[in-house]
Structure 1
Amino acid sequence: MITRDIEAFLAFARELAPDFGPPTACAAFLVAPDGFRLAEQSAQDNIYMADAGAFDAQRASMQHRDLQRAISTALPTICFAGDPATPDAVFPNNVFGTAAGRYIVGRMRHQVRQREAARDDIRGFFGGVLDYAEIDLSTQPHPCELTGALVIDRARGLGFCGLSERCDEEGARLMHEAFGLRATLLFDLAPGEYHTNVVLAVLAGRAAVVCPRGFADPVVPAAIAGLYAPHAVTCSEAEHAAFVGNCIALSHETVWMSADAGEALSPLHCRRLADAGFRVETVALDAIEAAGGSLRCCIGEIY
């Protein structure tokens, strides 16, 4: 099922058992922020990006190493070298995604990011080292920026796909098929929002973090929160702005977000995550957040 019909989606989703696959990844991959700077093309439709003067390449590199070191305590984490020709490559989950036995290459909207999809080393790792089958969406015309645009409940095989200039309906359909999902809900993001994973996270299939202002129709975030109630966090404006919605569960017990997001997270919402069985872990990423993404954007998941 792939639909905009919220009631039909909810009726189907509520009947699903959490038996689609592992709820969290078995490993992670990163791409180093080598040549970290403002990507002017990406800035055209990413309101979270700072001005060029706010980019600190040395600090970003140090924080990225801290990120790898930290999340390696939760799961095996490898890091590929960056490339000064691809300043956005620090957010690899938009370009490369995985499902059982296969890897997917996304179609990026901007040319500066399309270069990332051609990396032989990352393709070689998935295809040659892991022996995953390839599904290459990068050469077709419809933008589909993988787990930036598509938030996945891996336990139930559910997708939540926000449409914007970074993903159209056909791109959503292609991703739905590539990840082999049971059902995907389509909805429009609010004007100015570029990726779903900035305004929505599904945590190990049993909790959700929702930023209502990021959705064009307020009915959608309310419905998603209702699906995961009582373990749903509905973010305030301040939490949204601090990237609380850009968090990720890397194990059954841990939710990871940036230090600024953790600082903005209200005590009530921290308790709500604790009630769902999660401990909040944070890493300072303010330098990387200048590029318009946060912790979840940095992490490519290996299933």
Structure 2
Amino acid sequence: MITRDIEQFLAAARRAPSDFGPATARAAFLVAPDGFRLAGQSAADNHYMADAGAFDAARASAQHRDLHRAIAQVLPAVCFAGDPETPDALFPNNVFATTAGRYVVGRMRHPVRQREATRADIRGFFGGVLDYAEIDLSTQPHPCELTGALVIDRARGLGFAGLSERCDAEGARLMHEALGMRATLVFDLADGEYHTNVVLAVLAGRAAMVCPGGFADPAVVDAIAALYAPHAIMLSPAEHAAFAGNAIALSEDTVWMSDGAGRALAPATREALAAAGFALHTVGIDAIEAGGGSLRCCIGEVY
């Protein structure tokens, strides 16, 4: 079921058992920030991106290696080489996503990012090494930037698809079908928001971090809060701006975000994460955040 009807979605979501699959990924993949610089096309609809002068490629590369080393302590993590012709490729979760036995290639809005979908090495890893079946959405006309636009509760098979210039209604439907969601709620992001995963994180199927200002309709925020109570954590505008909503659970008991996001957390937010059973881990990636994304955007998940 894919719907804009909040009550219909909630009814289905509350019936969904936690047996859709593992709540967190079994491995991760990254793409190195080789050629990291301002991508003008991407900046057109991503207000989080810094000006060109704020990009420090060497510092971003060093921080990306730090990120790789850190998450490799929790789960296997592979890193593919970057490509100077694709300066946004260090955010691979928008282009490639996985579910049990298959991988999906997304359709990016901007031509500079559409090049990423043609990478033979990443396709070969999933199709040849892991023997996953391919679902290629990259050549159809509807933008669907995968787990940037679609936040997934992997335990229950629930999707939260925020519409923007990076994902339209048909793109949301295609992702829902390709990833086999049981139920997906479709809604509009607030003006100026480009990806759902900047304003919403579902953590190991039992908690949610929500930036209310990122949603066009407050009723969607209320629905998510009701579904994940008592572990629905509402983030302040300051936490939102620091990318605290761009978090990810890499195991049942750890949640990861950037160091800047961690420093912005209010004491009540830290207490709420601990009450939900999560230890907080942070990595300094301020140079990477100049590119308009944060820690979760850097991590592709292997299910």
TM-score bracket relative to the smaller structure: over 0.9
Instruction: Quote the residue 2:164 is aligned against.
Output: 164
Identify the residue that residue 135 of structure 2 maps to in structure 1.
135
Report the equivalent of 2:119. Answer: 119
Give the match for residue 283 of structure 2: 283
CA distance in 1, matches of 2:15, 2:123: 37
Matched residue SS, 1:263:
helix
CA drift at 1:164: 0.5
Q: Secondary structure at the match of 1:135?
A: strand
Q: Which residue is equivalent to 1:273?
A: 273
Cα separation, 1, equivalents of 2:182 and 2:197: 19
Q: Is the 8 A contact 1:34 1:84 kept in 2?
A: yes
- Give the whole-Å Cα distance in 2 for the aligned partners of 1:268 and 1:73: 28
Matching residue of 2:223: 223
Contact 1:155/1:204, CA 8 A, preserved across alignment: yes
Does the alignment pair 1:301 with 2:301? yes
Deviations 1:104-141 (A, max 9, x none): 00000000000000000000000000000000000000
The yes-or-no answer on 1:94 pairing with 2:91 is no
Gaps of 5+ in 1: none
Q: Counterparts in 2 of 1:32-51, with a 5 A limit?
A: 32-51=32-51
Match of 1:105 in 2: 105
Return the TM-score normalized by structure 2. Answer: 1.00
Distance in 2, Cα, partners of 1:225 & 1:62: 37
Q: 1:213-232: per-residue Cα shift (whole Å, max 9, x none)?
A: 00111111121011101111
3-state SS of paired residue (2:79): strand
Q: TM-score, length-normalised on structure 1?
A: 1.00
> How do 1:172-191 and structure 2 match up within 5 A?
172-191=172-191
Q: Which residue type is aligned with residue 296 of structure 2?
A: R
Q: Give the deviation of 1:237 after TM superposition.
A: 0.4
1:227-276 CA-partner distances (Å, limit 9, x unpaired): 10111110000000000000000000100000000001111111111111
Q: Distance in 1 between matches of 2:15 and 2:54?
A: 48
- Indicate yes or no: 2:247 matched with 1:264: no
Q: CA deviation at 1:34?
A: 0.2
Instruction: Find out whether 1:8 has 2:8 as its counterpart.
Output: yes
Displacement after TM superposition at 1:15 (Å)? 1.2
**How many angstroms apart in 2 are the aligned matches of 1:163 and 1:124?**
30
Instruction: Give the superposed CA RMSD.
Output: 0.4
Q: What is the match of residue 211 of structure 1?
A: 211
CA contact 1:187–1:220 (8 Å) conserved in 2: yes
- CA distance in 2 between counterparts of 1:183 and 1:252 reads 23
Q: Which runs of 4+ in 1 moved over 6 A?
A: none
Q: Is residue 61 of structure 2 the alignment partner of residue 55 of structure 1? A: no
Partner Cα distance (2:225, 2:61) in 1: 35
1:14-66 superposed Cα distances (whole Å, 9 cap, x missing partner): 11110100000000000000000000000000000000000000000000000
* Residue in 2 that maps onto 1:199: 199
Contact 1:212 1:222 in 2 (8 A): no
